Amino acid sequence: MNILAIETSCDDTCAAVLNDDRILSNVVSSQTNLHKKWGGVVPDIAKRAHQKRIEPVIMEALSKGFNLPKSLFDKRDLKTMMAKIDVIAVTKGPGLAIALSVGVNKAKELAIKYNKKLVAVNHVEGHIMANWAKNSKGLPERNIELPALAMTVSGGHTKLIVIKSPPNPLFDERGGMASFEYQVVGETLDDAAGEALDKAAKLMGFGYPGGPIIEKLAESGDINFLELPRPMADKKILDYSFSGLKTSFYYKIKDWPKEMVIEKANDLAASYQNAVFDMLLRKFKLAAEKYEPKTLLASGGVMANKELRKRIRKLAKELKLPVYMPNKKILDTDNAGMIGVAGYFMALKEEWADPETLDRDPRMNFNLPPAPSLTRRGV
Ligand code: KG4
Ligand code: ZN
């Protein structure tokens, strides 16, 4: 099955081509430079950039995916390339409404014009499915045993999700699990972890996105320089809260002269990053102890951070559990490859969307009811 996947939920215009769960091309056109000077994503700028870039990005993904010569980079040849596609997968939500619309409308237009099947993918499920992604050679081959506990950490969401096999699991032709049941067991009550890092970088007067900037600065900083709170850490709650941490950070440095912030930037970044990661790790551990998964998974933009990856590997060792994370940076941050993998599993289940009526859903959630024996909050 050949899939064209499209993702425009935030500030990256993305398209990918897959053969089943194997990613053949994964094109990301980042808008970071456009949003940088505003210190965050400006929805209207994102929308216009998506509109301008979506077609060239799709063309590039198609020609790279099918190894077609550059001469086929022409709009007139879209028909030839679309003939090879069976299914179009697109991010329906959650995300910025006006950004999502660009991808959804393009997917609908192509599905109708070229008579293709369409699947509407949840962006967070895409981040989880990045753990199942394979390259064109079918690697890595991972035997991810369920139930698994997945942590997704990005700029828009921070969630702990238990992934189980449903009562009647579906397997693909190679015998791999192709249907999953999700239960959100913890999530942030305010800011996402990536957002917390972005905001701290902004408070210090640094650019956007803040996560990679803080990572670099923190490498040579002292984690004990600043004493910061760990909101909700001691209560046996699986939800996260990051806004108190950001506020505390703000009050600690608000009267500092700019030069002092610059001078102490490494220590400030290290203390702050350490507090964010501490909170992520504590809840991940708590959830693992409560739900006793066979596997740990971690994905989302913040997982591009080397220190966080190291700490998660250490936790998995301590818990004696296998851990998987996307094996390429491009699969951590927003990309269409992960949307294609989630779309592949949906296509196997024939969960088709109607190209005439599909609409974006900026607040899209996992709509599985929690199992009666498990409460959302309080262990
Ligand atoms: O998954 P993603 O690309 O987009 C969303 O779905 O939000 O995640 C973007 C977030 C941003 O907050 C960014 O600062 C953070 O991921 N991020 C990082 C790193 N790279 C990106 N955070 C920490 N360390 C990094 N190396
Ligand atoms: Zn994302």
- Tell how far the Cα of 108 is from the centroid of ligand 2, in angstroms: 22
pLDDT attached to residue 125? 95
Query: pLDDT below 70 — which residues of the chain?
Result: 70-73, 234, 367-379
149-176 CB burial, b ≥16 within 10 A, e <16: bbbbbbbbbbbbbbbbbeeeeeeeeeeb
The pLDDT value recorded for residue 234 is: 67
Q: Could you tell me the domains of the chain?
A: 1-140+327-379 (3.30.420.40), 193-324 (3.30.420.40)
pLDDT, tens digit (0-9, with 9 covering 90-100), for 154-178: 999 999 999 998 878 888 887 888 8
Q: Report the nearest-CA residue for atom 23 of ligand 1.
A: 211
pLDDT of residue 377: 37
User: For ligand 1, what atom is nearest to the CA of residue 193?
Assistant: 12
Q: What atom in ligand 1 is closest to the CA of residue 9?
A: 6
pTM (2 d.p.): 0.93
User: Ligand 2 mean position to 123 CA, how many Å?
Assistant: 6
211 lines ligand 1 (CB under 6 A): yes
pLDDT of residue 29: 95
Q: Is 293 in the pocket of ligand 1 (CB under 6 A)?
A: no
The pLDDT of residue 72: 61
Tell me if 326 CB under 6 Å of ligand 1: no
Q: What is the 3-state secondary structure (H, E, C) of the chain?
A: CEEEEEECCCCEEEEEEEECCEEEEEEEEECHHHHHHHCCCCHHHHHHHHHHHHHHHHHHHHHHHCCCCHHHCCHHHHHHHHCCCCEEEEEEECCCHHHHHHHHHHHHHHHHHCCCEEEEEEHHHHHHHHHHCECCCCCCCCCCCCCEEEEEECCCCEEEEEEECCCCCCECCCCCECCCEEEEEEEECCCCHHHHHHHHHHHCCCCCCHHHHHHHHHCCCCCCCCCCCCCCCCCCCCCECCHHHHHHHHHHHCCCCHHHHHHCHHHHHHHHHHHHHHHHHHHHHHHHHHHCCCEEEEECHHHHCHHHHHHHHHHHHHHCCCEECCCCHHHHCCCHHHHHHHHHHHHHCCCCCCCCCCCCCCCCCCCCCCCCCCCCCCC
